[in-house]
Chain A
């Protein structure tokens, strides 16, 4: 059962990473708007010439 001694800490580290990633996503406002990004994918019109892309990438942040 020695493998447990390795796997258990790894699972704890992963848990810590997952929580840190989630906290980062929440702080960055990835969950502030859950409705609009869903529409982005439906808009297949190419951005017009000279149209500037929105500076902040708005891909939905689905946490860990």
Chain B
């Protein structure tokens, strides 16, 4: 029987599933069915045609959104606009542009909404509404009903700053583009005057006009480079920006001097083109990286909107989490996020610590144990006595630790920076020497020759060579589904010699499967599985996944989930318990899942995790690329050994603490290896930060992604192998570009120094060398398509 998939969210429909009568589609839950029904009813059915990724599963439990209407929240996170207020919020379910389309349409239908914009790239929704006609919570309920759970964004001020920063960059690029067009057009007239027949006044008019047009391009559009140069000069570290700004200013001021002097040639066009191309390359690269960070960053910092505090007399009040103090008692409803670190009171509870560990399986906490802010309360409500709030919480400390570790990572001197630094220094010395030499030999040609030397040497090609490749590489990576959050990540990934998978969960699919069944007391294995499947059928517990493939044969009645123990219920008039050995079968807990009636054991299930489908292929591809593959897992010996054997990993270590893993990475580094780390949990933050380059899986903990250099957008492991390939290709292209620039300079500089290069040949050489470098970088995009096909 083919597995039916939910029409709305695409998840497999468990068991018999629910078939909607009206449209004949299968749905996994009531939430999805209601969302789909509303979408069809509102004439938004095109959503299903337009989308390129399945929707989020709609959470069945109703969210408490009332607190969004509170004045404190609106004051901090929204601003007054004409006719109402405006808020920017985050959501985690926007997976493609169609989601943004749906949100726009759905909200526009609500009464009192003035304007909305949803952006799938950044995961942000901007809503302007009229508080007199609509409550924010009502609008958010509509979003939640469609499966988009709202989160608070980082605050009004930061959101505005982010937006205006982006607009400023766009404006700079636009001015550079339009200005260069004009400057090129005017320069064309001067270029076409090959025989110098143009009267000097006309020629000067053209030159002054070009000067006028290029000034805003060099100083407004090129400002980021100029500011960068100022920063680098202050830090006494010649870098890429110095090279870029230096060559722009050189071409610009040399042209100005020539214009005033009435010299033979000007290079305004080179200056503006250069600014435009570099700005475009930098924007493309930044955009690719912003996509990676915008969502991850904000979700990682997401906090609950309100906390429910218990007053001394037992009554409740909801307060902003920032108002909590140590010693307060807070209540957390099932499904809500813990607002502060605290000690669990009353009964046992389950908490999902995915944000901290990347492990989506809820963990069990007993009264007196510490529960961390950012974890999610599962199954039933809990009470906490607050011990730490705000920046004192473990979540904040871990985030700070990650930031610190990143700042302390030895800065990789980038190849182009290294080359560029020397190049600029050597060139300046050479220019002075040549000027002095010609001054003695033929004083009237000294300026012209020095200028030709500086122009023909073209630092442009050199400084373009890396950004052009980076822009192409980031584009290629984004198409593969890998986003890089730090500029030097690609370079390091290309040089990596060893790759360490930091936990079994990265290589396995994380879903338990039945490895073996042992039966006792006359029950046959098939019946035991059927009973267990019936009991777990409607359970949301992860263990239920191990029985999801069993066709439903029996019905279970009066099923009750016992948090931390298992489930019990009636199947075919018998009472069953499924769960921990001591509870279900009165035996010592051994980690297996037992079926019994409370006294007697009837069956024991051993659960294990399968390797992901693409794990073996990935390991093989990585090894084929010359990388040594390691596995360092915190799990027990047996499952780690089994996984390593199945995938053919020789170096697998079990029961590794984060310290052990870090020591392992350090040992490899001491051997001179360059280590790439793949992981998804934040409890390994030191390891991720300690490795030379780290990759976080897209479905892991948001904070781990914050710590990583590269983030994959989906669960596919093959992307890691692809990313290594692209990184190496781009490194090769950068090398070729640098080699070409160096070769060109070795040829051109001596000629220019000898006074053999006329200014127009210098300008031509400058343009051609930059063009060659750019075209070479574009090969990356083409090769990538070829390989992808």
Contacts and interface: CB of A to CB of B under 8 A. Distances in A.
Interface of A: 1, 4, 8, 11-12, 15, 18-19, 22-23, 26-27, 29, 31-33, 35-36, 38-40, 42-48, 51-56, 58, 63-64
A29 to B, nearest CB: 7
B182 interface: yes
B43 interface: yes
Which of A32, A40, A53 has the most B CB atoms < 10 Å from its CB? Answer: A32
A51 B97 CA distance: 21
A48 B43 contact: yes
> How big is chain B's contact interface, by range?
35 or more
A4 B198 CA distance: 13
Contacts of A54: 104-105, 108, 115-116
Nearest to B168: A26
A15 B98 CA distance: 37
Nearest to A38: B97
A26 B185 contact: no
A15 B345 CA distance: 69
Contacts of B436: none
Contacts of A45: 43, 45-46
Given A36-B120, A48-B43, A51-B42, A11 B171 contact: no
B108 A39 contact: no
B201 to A, nearest CB: 10
B174 A26 contact: yes
A52 B108 contact: yes
Contact of B46 (A22, A29, A43): A43
Interface string B85-122: 00000000000011011001100110000111111110
B43 A47 contact: yes
A12 B183 CA distance: 11
Contact of B202 (A4, A11, A23, A48): A4
A36 B50 CA distance: 10
Contact of A35 (B45, B105, B121, B170): B121
A5 to B, nearest CB: 9
Interface of B: 42-43, 45-46, 49-50, 97-98, 100-101, 104-105, 108-109, 114-121, 163, 166-167, 170-171, 174-175, 178-179, 182, 185, 202, 205, 209, 212-213
A42 B116 CA distance: 20
Contact of A19 (B114, B119, B175, B205): B175
Given A4-B202, A39-B97, A45-B45, A55 B121 contact: no
Contacts of A56: 115
B187 to A, nearest CB: 13
Nearest to B108: A54
B163 A36 contact: no
B171 A23 contact: yes
Which of A15, A29, A38, A53 has the most B CB atoms < 10 Å from its CB? Answer: A15
A27 B789 CA distance: 40
Contacts of B171: 22-23, 26
B97 A11 contact: no
B213 to A, nearest CB: 7
Given A35-B121, A51-B109, 13 more contacts: A4-B205, A15-B179, A19-B178, A31-B167, A33-B100, A39-B98, A42-B46, A43-B46, A47-B43, A51-B43, A52-B108, A52-B109, A55-B114
Nearest to B43: A48
A36 B101 contact: yes
A29 B171 CA distance: 12
Contacts of A42: 46, 49-50
Given A26-B167, A26-B171, A11 B100 contact: no
B42 A48 contact: yes
B248 to A, nearest CB: 20
Contacts of A8: 205, 209
A18 B121 contact: no
Contacts of B109: 51-52
A38 to B, nearest CB: 7
A27 B121 CA distance: 19
Contacts of A51: 42-43, 109
Nearest to B183: A15
Contacts of B163: 32
B45 A32 contact: no
